[in-house]
Chains A and B, each alone.
Chain A
């Protein structure tokens, strides 16, 4: 670090003062361009986060809170099985959802990005994936109830086809329905980035690989998969951040049986337990941050853009 600074400074010293002034003005210019973003992020992200960490150490009374610092809330979180269970459930459902989204979204994205050659058709298909977003979040979630219920569409179809003898009751108001709901809502966030990366793969690469004798499976694993990895990483970041912060889907589709960390936060805030809600918030934020950092270590996104 020090050597590079020196290397930059030495020739500067030898130059005319005017060029130094020009450089300073340019530096000032870039700072001014940065300022709005920095201020916005500080006010809306950094300060609230610091506040959240601070509040998590406050002392919680039944209906009030005071700023005496204590570890009570943290201890309560880690000593109550309900909360630890909820943390585990959050992580487990997140992994399952992410895996299903990859399994469903990736092939779709490869199909759109690689096999659909017509650019217009490609764009139309991607738009089709986004169509569900034209309705409100709540409607999309609640619409699963008539689908998955004991007398819901899925069960009726399966019964009529003779595949099952009696309705599957586990479909609604269980973990499965929560996972199904979240997969349906968030899968498009995987399809988009992956389809984008895959469509950027030069077709001549695939021809070249084929010409060199590689089988289709080999081409997929050695060429297409690595080149679409940045898309998978970006998609996973989107999906993870959203799934980890979920509270609406579980509360609408699990009948209150599945409590993710997000649901705990909602409940705690509702009963004015700010300190405890902050503990959950900090844990959730750390979990997300670790996930994002870990995912970003897989690929160098800066090189891809």
Chain B
């Protein structure tokens, strides 16, 4: 339905979007994950029509949107600060797009009323029609903004960090609400967020963006379990990252010691620089010196401290190269073991759970320069 083809946007020589290509299907819920400055807001603004791309094009249902102004695109935009009209009531805010559309306004006030009420009911604000915007809480404002965009039934609804301004409790509820509203309307949602957990929870598909480029487009569980690069793994905040060198004998030499590589990667040629990562909840801690199973990899580390957060406890260990790694235990699985601060343990994981990537281009160039 929506096709983004090699869209590039520069601000003063700096590429905010660098050849973005993406295809979005009818009724999809897409979440766009990226750190601040990754270009995710720019992409949204290009789609909405607030910015014109320097190269590439956006097509919606086969129609090239590049020359189409924002209000004729059939794309709704819910901005980060909600952008509600402060001098209008909730009703008038939501009715705005119906009443005042330049080409196809709804002139029948009964019709306007019916559609506004229907949408407000859907977002759960039917009792707040006559309220002033100032009298609403953050979550309610968010819903009004959503209703105002959805009442005109756009083909595509862009949400710019919709949960960013809400507190944690509300965020949880709005997550569910958003999914419900999406299911009820069948409109394509494009949800931008800097929060990895939100991206994974919301999207049918997750698009990971960094420095204006798409790093990965996949289902949430694929992104989570099989990040396509070390950069994606870094954004997920769930992996311990290492860089090292494949030794050609099924091992990877890192600054903290040599670990067994996943067997799929054993054929990697000798002395290739690689990035390596292991998810924090795949690691098991065992006393130093205990034997490993054949399919396990291990690193020696010194225990520092633990962080308790309800169902999860995170243990921090210091490696031989002074770097700190995290190990996460789910308390529902096993009772937390007490570790002695300063004592050495071995961190063990099934070797096939480790992920190996060719070292990123930057690193390789840097190494080449250093060698020369």
CA distance A212 to B84 in the complex (A): 12
Binds B, one of A221-229, A253-261, A262-270: A221-229
Q: Is A207 within 8 A of B70, CB to CB?
A: yes
Q: How far is the CA of A207 from the CA of B100 in the complex (A)?
A: 14
Q: Which residues of A contact B75 (CB under 8 A)?
A: 211
- A218 near B102 with CB under 8 A, answer yes
Task: Compute how far the CA of A213 lies from the CA of B104 in the bound complex, rounded to whole angstroms.
Answer: 9
Assess whether B50 is in contact with A212, with CB atoms less than 8 Å apart. Answer: no
Q: Are B71 and A210 in contact (CB under 8 A)?
A: yes
Interface string of A102-114 (1 = CB under 8 A from B): 0000000000000
Q: Is the C-beta of A135 less than 8 angstroms from some C-beta in chain B?
A: no
Ranked nearest first, the 7 interchain pairs of A and B with the lowest CB-CB distance are A212-B97, A213-B101, A204-B83, A215-B102, A208-B83, A213-B71, A214-B100
Interface contact B83-A213, CB-CB below 8 Å:
no
Q: Collect the chain A residues with CB atoms within 8 Å of residue B152's CB.
A: 212-213
Asked whether A211 and B71 contact (CB < 8 A) given A204-B79, A222-B100, the answer is: yes
CB distance from A218 to the nearest CB of B (A): 5
- CB contacts under 8 Å to B, within A191-250, are 202, 204-205, 207-215, 218, 222-223, 226-227
Q: B96 touching A209 by the CB < 8 A rule?
A: yes
Give chain B residues whose Cβ lies under 8 Å from the Cβ of A208.
77, 79, 83-85, 148
Whether the Cβ atoms of B71 and A214 lie closer than 8 Å is yes
B-side contacts of A227, CB under 8 Å: 86-87
Answer whether A213 and B81 are a contact pair too, CB < 8 Å, given A207-B50, A207-B70, A226-B87. Answer: no
Residues from chain A with a CB closer than 8 A to the CB of B87 are 226-227
10 more contacts with CB within 8 A, not counting A204-B83, A213-B102, are A207-B70, A208-B77, A208-B84, A211-B49, A211-B75, A211-B76, A212-B96, A213-B72, A213-B97, A222-B100
Is B103 an interface residue when CB atoms closer than 8 A count as contact? yes
B48 within 8 A of A: yes
Give 6 A-B contacts (CB < 8 Å), ordered by A residue.
A210-B71, A212-B101, A213-B104, A214-B97, A215-B100, A222-B85
**Contact of B96 with A214 in the complex, beta carbons under 8 Å:** yes
Given the complex of chains A and B, what is the CA–CA distance between A210 and B104 in angstroms?
14
Residues on A with beta carbons closer than 8 Å to the beta carbon of B77:
207-208, 211
Partner of A218 from the list B49, B76, B81, B100 (CB cut-off 8 Å) is: B100
Interface contact B79-A212, CB-CB below 8 Å: no
- Digit string of A168-210 for contact with B (CB within 8 Å is 1, else 0)? 0000000000000000000000000000000000101101111
Instruction: Tell me how far the C-beta of B51 lies from the nearest C-beta in chain A, rounded to whole angstroms.
Output: 11
Distance A207 CA – B83 CA, assembled complex (angstroms): 9
Which residues of A does B touch, CB under 8 Å? 202, 204-205, 207-215, 218, 222-223, 226-227
List B residues 82-108 near A (Cβ within 8 Å). 83-87, 96-97, 100-104
Nearest A-chain residue to B158, judged by Cβ: A211
Q: When chains A and B are docked, how far (Å) is the Cα of A215 from the Cα of B96?
A: 12
Cβ-defined contact, B70 with A214, below 8 A: no
Supposing A207-B50, A207-B70, A227-B86 touch, asked if A214 and B81 sit within 8 A by C-beta, the answer is: no
Query: Contacts A207-B77, A208-B79 hold; do A214 and B102 have CB atoms under 8 A apart?
Result: yes
Bound form: Cα–Cα A221–B275 in Å:
58
CB distance B103 to A211 under 8 Å? no
Which residues of B sit under 8 angstroms from A202, Cβ to Cβ? 81, 83
Known A205-B83, A205-B85; judge A211-B102 contact (CB<8 A): no
Q: When chains A and B are docked, how far (Å) is the Cα of A277 from the Cα of B49?
A: 64
Compute how far the CA of A209 lies from the CA of B48 in the bound complex, rounded to whole angstroms: 12
Measured between alpha carbons, how far is A204 from B149 in the docked complex, in Å? 14
Report the bound CA distance from A218 to B71 in whole Å. 13
Residue of A nearest to B79 (CB): A204
A215 CB, min distance to chain B CBs, angstroms: 4
Residues of A contacting B83 in the complex (Cβ-Cβ under 8 angstroms): 202, 204-205, 207-208
In the assembled complex, the Cα of A222 lies from the Cα of B72 at a distance in Å of 19
Question: CA A274 – CA B49 in complex, angstroms?
Answer: 68
Query: Within 8 Å CB of B76, what residues of A?
Result: 211
Name the residue of chain B whose CB is nearest to the CB of A219. Answer: B100
Cβ of B69 to closest chain A Cβ, rounded Å: 8
Instruction: Give A59 Cβ to nearest chain B Cβ, in Å.
Output: 54
| Chain B residue at smallest Cβ distance from A215 | B102
What is the bound-complex CA distance between A210 and B68, given in angstroms? 13
Within the complex, what minimum Cβ distance (angstroms) separates B94 from chain A? 10
B352 to chain A, nearest CB (A): 49
Q: For the complex formed, measure the closest distance between the CB of A117 and the CB atoms of chain B, giving whole angstroms.
A: 14
Residues of chain A within 8 A (CB-CB) of B100 are: 209, 212-215, 218, 222
A227 to B69: give the CA distance in the assembly, Å.
Answer: 25
Complexed CA–CA distance, A208 and B97 (Å): 9
Chain A residues positioned under 8 Å from B81 (CB to CB): 202, 204
CB-nearest residue of chain B to A218: B100
**Alpha-carbon distance between A212 and B85 when the two chains are bound, in angstroms:** 12
What residues on B are CB-neighbors of A218 within 8 Å? 100, 102
CB distance from B99 to the nearest CB of A (A): 9
- Are the CB atoms of B86 and A212 closer together than 8 Å? no
Q: Kindly provide the distance from the CB of A303 to the nearest chain B CB, expressed in whole angstroms.
A: 8
Closest beta carbon of chain A to B163's beta carbon, Å: 17
User: Which residues from chain B contact A211 at a C-beta distance below 8 Å?
Assistant: 48-49, 70-71, 75-77, 149
Q: Which residues from chain B contact A223 at a C-beta distance below 8 Å?
A: 85
